[in-house]
Chains A and B, each alone.
Chain A
Amino acid sequence: MTTTTASQVIHEPRFMDGDEFHIATFALLQQDGTLFEGARAPELGRETARRIYHTMVLIRVLDERMLAAQRQGRLSFYMQCTGEEAAVIGSAAALDDDDMIMAQYREQGALAYRGFGIDEFMNQLFGNAEDYGKGRQMPIHYGSAKLHYMTISSPLATQIPQAAGYAYGQKLDGQGRCTITYFGEGAASEGDFHAALNMAAVHRAPVIFFCRNNGYAISTPSVEQFAADGVAPRAFGYKMHVIRVDGNDVLAVYAATREARRIAVEHNQPVLIEAMTYRLAAHSSSDDPSGYRSKKEEALWREKDPVNRMRLWMLAQEWWSDDEEKTLQEQLRREVLETMKRAEKRPPPPLASLVEDVYAEVPARLQEQLDALEAHVRRHPEAYPKSAPGLDQGGA
């Protein structure tokens, strides 16, 4: 009843079209690495800044190398984060390392920031026996319980209401933790997004909804995704705090997420952040953007490169040098390449892993199916080069 009692009564039909809400974009850092006039950098110490920047460079190197590996046929699939590093890594850095991350799929930067090793990335990408997910999901579906990073699920937006529930549980536990969930502006069209915001607002879950508005959902430009001014205005409908931020500005992303975290944890209020950015690479290794957008448009956004912007700022702070840049690039390239070579040689998961984790215990019916399959593989070892050798080594 509060809505009606607090509502002013009028006697002319006055429609509202939402144009009275103009959502500004929060930005601190200019492309040349200097702050906007009157802007103040967040309190981000030298060590955190270096950790963020280091992660950005790592992700650039990893993405470049793994896309090339996909092109060479060494990997079945890959997705790059290129262009969105500031949005993803800047926000992850603003959290506590124990806060939960529930991502969509293009957020390898957040995971790397938490300390996921190159080796761990590679094991998942190659789906080998050391992949935590046991070689079941497509490349880039990482997860780490230790680093509080929920395993990626391909069906879009499903993690968004889950994040609200996870955060609600964190609130009940009273440890001062929160959850951030990342998603694209495309995924925000799913019903799950709307359900999530409403649930979180009604039940006051300490969750940060972080939308990477990168302009495209595969080939669909955001102008065909929504008629409204982006995703941010939707927060009003659910009575939620919201901010729009320049997603290529690592300082603004960091500052906005830091404050969002404070609101979430101190006031048990969900927050929506819309980071305006651009997917510089193809949607995935299966996609070719030349069919739906111009090189000119891409070039315009390449000039707004978030990694370069941060590097210039770091140089100006004297927190970074060209020599360090060169050394880091070389070291990471070498490390990524060597780690990849090791990971691709590791054996695949054993046959028996097929039936594990469906349930807490393998049911009898499924065990029977595995036994039959194992006998079959033994009869035709040549047809199953991935699993047959493992059987002889006492595998399954």
Chain B
Amino acid sequence: MPTMNLLQAINNALDIAMESDPRVLCFGEDVGGFGGVFRATSHLQEKYGRERCFNTPLVEQGIIGFANGLAAQGHKPVAEIQFADYIFPAFDQIVNESAKFRYRSGSLFEVGGLTIRAPYGGGISGGLYHSQSPEAYFAHTPGLKIVVPRNPHQAKGLLLAAIRDPDPVLFFEPKRLYRASTGEVPEADYQLPLGEAEVIKEGSDVTLLAWGAQVEVTEKAAELAEKEGISCEVIDLRSILPWDVETVAQSVLKTGRLVISHEAPLTGGFAGEIAATIAERCFLYLESPIQRVTGLDTPFPLTLEKEYLPNHLKIVEAIKASIDF
């Protein structure tokens, strides 16, 4: 099996998607000849031509509006937003259009072919506008699916599933791991299920839940906690919308404790939604309050980025607080 980094796995998934379905198109700012600022779309224009892989003018609402139209017409656009921080000019097209196309027309029209890719997250000295994790804004929007891969194997399988899924999907890529995360990736075409979490490690004392780049941080915390005799179950949520309540609830029914971590700010972050749902489902089984280890309720800083981020040390402290409650 070839070894790939996360970018190569995404590039490979796009290549397979375009090869296997002539209706798949890839476009966005600098996506064409150059292959994107992170090179996720390298060589796609060479291979599939300028009609199917191209640079767009620098206008996010235009990119997603155009993609909505293409999808409504029956094509499968994979639109890249250069950084998740720059998705907001397209907020209206995504939240009011992509998400509601099917519902408002009673399924006469739909834009299910749409996939939006965007690199997200911090830890790269990006400051306010190259670090954000905006998943929670979109999680408040019925009609969208939201997927976040944590490694190359997932990135390929989930992206192929997202492109072929009958609903519009936002695919947030952890850019800190683009080159840092490598692993074996099957050469063949394969898909991983959307809407399903993955139990990465079984344990009995506490459930740790994260997604994307934060999974690695959480695994590191689990290792440290295990050294102190705490058995951790680690779950990668993989899909934020719809999210896999069953897998998380089953785990918490077993461990009685839950620690959730994400980079985005605490207030209104997706951990809040998970905590409320799990409190409903597992109330009598909970041994301690559900802990959230997140970014601060501030914009994303630069010099003190390390202080801002929910690192493994903070997660370990939350695990202990959960155990010692």
Contact = CB atoms under 8 A, between A and B. Distances in A.
Contacts of B105: none
Contacts of A355: 296, 298
B58 A224 contact: no
B61 interface: yes
A141 interface: yes
Interface stretch (B126-134, B149-157, B185-193, B280-288): B126-134
Interface string A77-90: 10000000000000
Contacts, number: 131
A153 interface: yes
A141 B127 contact: yes
A336 B33 CA distance: 38
A370 B302 CA distance: 16
A292 B33 contact: yes
Contact of B127 (A137, A219, A369): A137
Given A138-B125, A154-B128, A218-B30, A380 B313 contact: yes
B129 A354 contact: no
Contact of A369 (B62, B296, B303): B296
Contacts of B130: 138, 154
Given A189-B58, A355-B298, A135 B303 contact: yes
B297 interface: yes
Given A155-B86, A225-B58, A354-B307, A135 B297 contact: no
Most A CB within 10 A of own CB, among B37, B58, B303, B307: B303
Interface SS majority for chain B: loop
Nearest to B34: A219
Contacts of A286: 37
B313 A376 contact: yes
A236 interface: no
Contact of B303 (A358, A365, A383, A386): A386
A369 to B, nearest CB: 5
B89 A384 contact: no
A190 interface: yes
Of A154, A348, A377, chain B has the most CB atoms within 10 Å of the CB of A154
A348 to B, nearest CB: 5
Contacts of A348: 303-304
A373 B33 CA distance: 45
A383 B267 contact: no
A366 B127 contact: no
B128 A373 contact: no
A13 to B, nearest CB: 27
A292 B35 CA distance: 10
A136 B301 contact: yes
Interface in A259-295: 286-287, 291-292
Contacts of B266: 369
Contact of A135 (B61, B302, B314): B302
Interface string A165-205: 00000000000000000000011011110000000000000
A365 B127 contact: no
Nearest to A218: B30
B32 A224 contact: yes
Nearest to B59: A189
For chain A, give the interface size range.
35 or more
A382 B108 CA distance: 60
Interface string A217-258: 111100011100000000000000000000000000000000
B273 interface: no
Contacts of B37: 218-219, 286-287
Interface string B303-324: 1101110010110010000000
B298 A384 contact: no
B194 to A, nearest CB: 30
A379 B317 CA distance: 10
B103 interface: no
Contacts of A154: 85, 127-130
Contacts of B311: 383
Given A351-B307, A376-B317, A138 B126 contact: yes
B57 A189 contact: yes
Interface string B252-281: 000000000000001100000000000000
Given A220-B55, A383-B311, 7 more contacts: A128-B303, A218-B30, A218-B37, A349-B304, A358-B297, A386-B304, A386-B307
Interface of A: 76-77, 127-128, 135-138, 141, 153-156, 186-187, 189-192, 217-220, 224-226, 286-287, 291-292, 348-349, 351, 353-355, 358, 365-366, 369-370, 373, 376-377, 379-380, 383-384, 386-387
